[in-house]
Structure 1
Amino acid sequence: MDREDRLSHLVDYIIAQGTVHVEEVMEKFAVSGPTARRDLDALAEQQLVERTRGGARSNPTSADLPLRLRTSRRWHEKSAIARKVASLVEPGSVIAFNGGTTTTAAAYEVGVRAAADQSFAGAETTVVTNAVNIANDLIVRPQLRIVVVGGVARARSYELIGPLTGLILPEITIDTLFLGVTAVDTSRGLFTTHEGEASVNAALVAAARRTVVLADATKFATTAFARICPLDAVDAVIVDDGIGDGDARAVHDAGIELIRA
């Protein structure tokens, strides 16, 4: 387990336990005392936990941490998905991203490609998003026009949600939506953790000519609270090579293109 993964697991472990001691971290994560202390110090510096004598405890708001403060898991898989997304974007098209770690990585890669690829210089490529962090990352790219969907900002994901989003989405057309999800249930559809996010994501799907789901393989082995849409409402899924044969077959059987990153 690399340091990024360890820190991500560690902050979740502290949230679950409430309080941990250095010796407990050493045993749980198979690290030395100095490494355990450095990890706890790093999380405390980011205000993810509160340092205590001999350990750390969770903050009152630790369970609802902003996206930028949570270390992304499965970063290599998500980076591969992000690079695949960037390769699929047509200069001059209208694309969209909702919020999330994978879509944030994908939007970054699109920005990098737009800056380096001369075909973007003469075309106005539009990016629609309800994620303020993605808009902030891409606004510095003159090759891209950024359209931010209105709403109320949700701290955990930086997504704008609420009825204000309904004022713009029915009035626009998106060529390709790159949709991040929390869970993929091959029989019931796509899910996220919050009903407000699910509502906006469903509106983005309705506004898009083509919807491409971005999901690392672990998303097929979990569940979430709020359904975005049925699986057959999307056109393609980009996933890493860790997807199981049964899940891959279910995607194919639904008539959805499976793209391996």
Structure 2
Amino acid sequence: MTTALPLPRAGSGKRSRRLVALLDLLSSGETVSLHRIVDELAVSVATARRDLADLEDQGLLTRTHGGARIAAAAVEVPVRLRAGTSHRTKQLIARRAATFLPQGPYAVAIGGGTTAAEVARALVFRGELTIVTNSLTTAGEIGSRPNLRVLVTGGIVRPNSFELVGVLAENTFSALNVGTAFLGADGLSAAGGVTTHDEIEARTNAAMVGNAQRTVVVADSSKIGRVTLARVADLAGVHDVVTDSGAPGEELERIRACGPRVHVVAV
């Protein structure tokens, strides 16, 4: 019998932010020394070594003599670490996005990602609402609400995001018509459009927005101006973007020029 690898104890927002900062520091692919990690993150040697050990256990990095480098397969931060970062900002973005929905019977699609999950939480007290999602995290949180009708797609589970992706998920989304699709993003820019780290996830998300009357992208300021591997949608197909006041103003203007309405929440 195999034993599951231990997950990092990233329960606090402070530690989650530190682990994400550590992965960002290693993102260039070069080996980073332990001394630099200690200096950059302002932590003790013991703390740095503990964090490195936790992340190595998950296959996100490889420790070397005197330092560490990013693992070849680690292209995105797992959702369990991202959930603790910028939580208040994501709540404000989600609450603004939730105000776009009309009253009365309505159907929405909600994709994966921590900001999209906050949109679902902002809608838990709505009545006459149908929510279609491919996020196991979101479905688990809102599925027990008697006032909501929750539909979950089939598909293959992506370990990093707990999303269902692939043909089964795409077919479910393609068979349904929804009023609004709430789409998270790993990158959002005028040049790249809406992008994500995984090409299969990108195709699933494209199917989600394909039959939506309105597409709303929810993305905190760290995603603005960023381009990742796989394109989900061109900005011409996005109706609204909701982000926070930390986003670069010049890039927001370029995004507006591509067509979407841009809504900025103050943080």
Same fold (TM over 0.5): yes
Distance 1:62 1:199, change over 3 A: closer
Cα distance between partner residues in 2 of 1:82 and 1:231: 20
**What is residue 205 of structure 2 aligned with on the other side?**
201
Give secondary structure in 2 for the equivalent of 1:95: strand
Task: Write the letter of the residue equivalent to 2:212.
Answer: A
**What is residue 95 of structure 2 aligned with on the other side?**
83
Whether 1:98 aligns to 2:111 is yes
Please, which of 177, 189, 197 is the counterpart of residue 193 of structure 2?
Answer: 189
**What is residue 224 of structure 1 aligned with on the other side?**
228
Distance 1:19 1:250, change over 3 A: closer
Please, which of 184, 192, 198 is the counterpart of residue 180 of structure 1?
Answer: 184
TM-score by length of 1: 0.79
Q: Percent identity?
A: 34
Cα distance between partner residues in 2 of 1:74 and 1:60: 27
Q: 1:183 deviation in Å?
A: 1.3
Cα distance between partner residues in 2 of 1:61 and 1:254: 33
Question: Deviations for 1:185-227, whole angstroms, at most 9, x for unmatched residues?
Answer: 2144211111111111111111101100112222222211111
Whether 1:151 aligns to 2:163 is no
Distance 1:70 1:187, change over 3 A: closer
Q: 1:131 deviation in Å?
A: 1.2
Gapped regions of structure 2 (runs ≥ 5): 1-12
Question: Deviations for 1:101-148, whole angstroms, at most 9, x for unmatched residues?
Answer: 21122222323xx1xxxxx3xx32111111111111111222211111
**What is residue 132 of structure 2 aligned with on the other side?**
128
Cα distance between partner residues in 2 of 1:8 and 1:188: 24
Higher deviation after alignment, 102-111 or 206-215:
102-111
Does the 8 A contact of 1:95 with 1:177 survive in 2?
Answer: yes
Task: Write the letter of the residue equivalent to 1:156.
Answer: N
Kindly report the root-mean-square deviation, in angstroms, between the aligned alpha carbons of the 2 structures: 3.3
Task: Write the letter of the residue equivalent to 1:82.
Answer: A
Please, which of 8, 17, 39 is the counterpart of residue 5 of structure 1?
Answer: 17
Give secondary structure in 2 for the equivalent of 1:221: coil
Q: 1:168 deviation in Å?
A: 2.4
Structure number having the greater helix percentage: 1
TM-score by length of 2: 0.77
Whether 1:137 aligns to 2:137 is no
Cα distance between partner residues in 1 of 2:235 and 2:71: 37
Cα distance between partner residues in 2 of 1:49 and 1:219: 23
**What is residue 253 of structure 1 aligned with on the other side?**
257
Q: Number of paired residues?
A: 251
Q: 1:174 deviation in Å?
A: 0.7
Higher deviation after alignment, 31-40 or 219-228:
31-40
